[in-house]
Amino acid sequence: MRYDEETHAPIAADQLLTPRRYEDRVDDLWSTFNRVQENMTKGGVPGRTRKGRSTRTRSINGIDQNVKINRALWILAEELRRYRAA
């Protein structure tokens, strides 16, 4: 969502699932949603550039980008909830 097809994503998708606090290790949908949301919006997730240099993701400071990411995450969570309920 944040990195399009042409932009190199410095992190792998599973890194967004990594909890920042011990209490966030619960594996329900809401906790997973919150972990991904926090890792995407606050930044600081370690990664590698296209050239292999060490880097960290940047936080989202713009309101438009923040709303876009949160809306997309919410839609994904709703779809997953519907899929699991069926």
Alpha-carbon dihedral angle through residues 24, 73, 6, 51, given to the nearest 10 degrees? -10
Q: State what percent of residues in the chain have pLDDT above 90.
A: 74
- Cα(16)–Cα(32) distance, integer angstroms: 9
Enter the pTM of the model: 0.81
Please report which confidence band the pLDDT of residue 6 belongs to, taking 50, 70 and 90 as the band edges. low
Task: Specify the amino acid at residue 24.
Answer: D
Q: Looking at the predicted structure, is the pLDDT value of residue 84 above 90?
A: no
